[in-house]
């Protein structure tokens, strides 16, 4: 029996549910599968798969021996960016290394993440690791029907104001674009509405800020041309596969990103309808792309191919099922 943590009462459900559901579907195809939560734990001799190293530590401390972990981000480095605490970072590194070494199976979001952990902790993890990027949607053909959207310079920023998401740098870039492009507009979707307003009101003119559910967000994105995903070149971003890439692409939004997000940079290397910028102030590159004519059939076909090979749940269900078999789990 493979027991997969339920996301019903998890605060970041939108981020993790799709991934954990995919693992559960693979477990169902493999054999016997069950969902659980921490109020009703399965038998200690069974396999349990959780969504953080902290959850894994709790189970290891309770005596569970067969723990699997989905790892979305590098927790010690993220914590240090937020709190600037070396002690906190050291504690989290101890927990992380312990859980990685004891886990029977690992789910990571990029090859870069696997390389990071193997080098940092001098561990061999590849044999028990499945690589699957973060995504939570499928491509919507109707999003590519409106040719008028690509004639308007409407940009978006989706996400929190966490330090590694580079909201301030994004606003700085847009402020320069606003001075050059006619009728430009920035639509910001964030839970941090007040903080975003404080930053924007001093720097830009044509913008709106709101927070909407994931289902409503998909509808809003259908009317937007460009989506910002800019990051500093640090390990937190190098290993990441931001979910908003799939949200943008599924709805026909052209991502504006930089090479620090290594997995997507590699996957999109041959794509025409993505906008890779070299610097946070790369105005010229963006303006040139704004003048580019968009072929609706071409952009849809290009994005569909990416979903077929990279954002394909059925592909990862097969890969995870194969890893369960290889490791003789269950």
Taking the model in full, what pTM does it have? 0.92
* pLDDT at 9 exceeding the cut of 80: no
Q: Residue 67 is part of a domain; what is its CATH number?
A: 3.40.50.2000
Please write the tens of the pLDDT for every residue from 251-302.
999 999 999 999 999 999 999 999 999 899 999 999 999 999 999 999 999 9
Who contacts 249 (Cβ-Cβ below 8 Å, separation ≥6)? 139, 255, 303, 306, 307, 311
Who contacts 174 (Cβ-Cβ below 8 Å, separation ≥6)? 155, 184, 186, 204, 207, 228
Please write the tens of the pLDDT for every residue from 210-231.
999 888 998 999 999 999 999 9
Same domain, 64 and 154: no
Same domain, 8 and 126: yes
Both tokens of 291, joined, read: 């003048």
Q: Partners of 137 in the beta sheet?
A: none
Same domain, 14 and 93: yes
* pLDDT at 14 exceeding the cut of 70: no
Same domain, 305 and 316: no
Neighbouring C-beta atoms of residue 193, cutoff 10 Å:
14
* pLDDT at 38 exceeding the cut of 70: yes
Contact indicator for 8, 40 with CB cutoff of 8 Å: no
Contact indicator for 118, 283 with CB cutoff of 8 Å: no
How many angstroms separate the CA atoms of 274 and 270, rounded? Answer: 9
Same domain, 165 and 300: yes
Q: Which of 71, 97, 76 is nearest to 87 (CA)?
A: 76
Q: Give 10's pLDDT tier (boundaries 50, 70, 90).
A: low
Please give the average per-residue pLDDT across 139-152, as a whole number. Answer: 90
Same domain, 150 and 274: yes
| Domain ranges, residue 49 | 2-133+312-326
Same domain, 45 and 81: yes
Q: What is the DSSP string of 99-158?
A: HHHH-SEEEES-HHHHHHHHHHHT---GGGEEE---------GGGGS-GGGGGS-EEEEE
């Amino acid at each position: 029996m493979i027991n997969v943590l339920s996301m019903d009462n998890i605060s970041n459900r939108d981020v993790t549910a799709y991934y954990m559901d995919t693992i559960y579907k693979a477990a169902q195809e493999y054999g016997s599968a069950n969902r659980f939560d921490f109020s009703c734990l399965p038998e200690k001799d069974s396999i349990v798969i959780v969504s953080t190293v902290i959850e894994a530590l709790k189970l290891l401390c309770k005596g569970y021996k067969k723990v699997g972990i989905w790892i979305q981000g590098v927790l010690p480095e993220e914590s240090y960016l937020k709190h600037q605490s070396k002690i906190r970072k050291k504690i989290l590194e101890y927990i992380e290394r312990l859980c990685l070494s004891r886990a029977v199976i690992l789910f990571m979001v990029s090859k870069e993440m696997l390389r990071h952990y193997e080098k940092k902790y001098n561990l061999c993890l590849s044999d028990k690791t499945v690589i699957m990027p973060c995504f939570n949607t499928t491509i919507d053909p109707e999003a590519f029907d409106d040719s008028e959207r690509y004639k308007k310079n409407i940009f978006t920023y989706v996400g929190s104001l966490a330090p590694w998401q580079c909201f301030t740098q994004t606003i700085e870039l847009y402020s320069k674009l606003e001075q050059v492009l006619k009728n430009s507009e920035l639509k910001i979707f964030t839970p941090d509405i007040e903080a975003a307003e404080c930053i924007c009101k001093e720097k830009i003119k044509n913008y709106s800020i709101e927070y909407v559910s994931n289902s409503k967000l998909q509808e809003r994105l259908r009317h937007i041309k460009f989506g910002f995903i800019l990051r500093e070149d640090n390990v937190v971003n190098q290993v990441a596969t931001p979910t908003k890439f799939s949200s943008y692409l599924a709805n026909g939004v052209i991502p504006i990103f930089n090479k620090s997000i290594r997995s997507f940079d590699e996957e999109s290397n041959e794509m025409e309808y993505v906008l890779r910028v070299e610097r946070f102030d790369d105005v010229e590159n963006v303006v040139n792309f704004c003048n580019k004519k968009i072929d609706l059939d071409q952009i849809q076909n290009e994005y569909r191919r990416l979903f077929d090979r990279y954002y394909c749940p059925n592909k990862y269900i097969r890969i995870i099922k194969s890893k369960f078999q290889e490791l003789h789990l269950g």
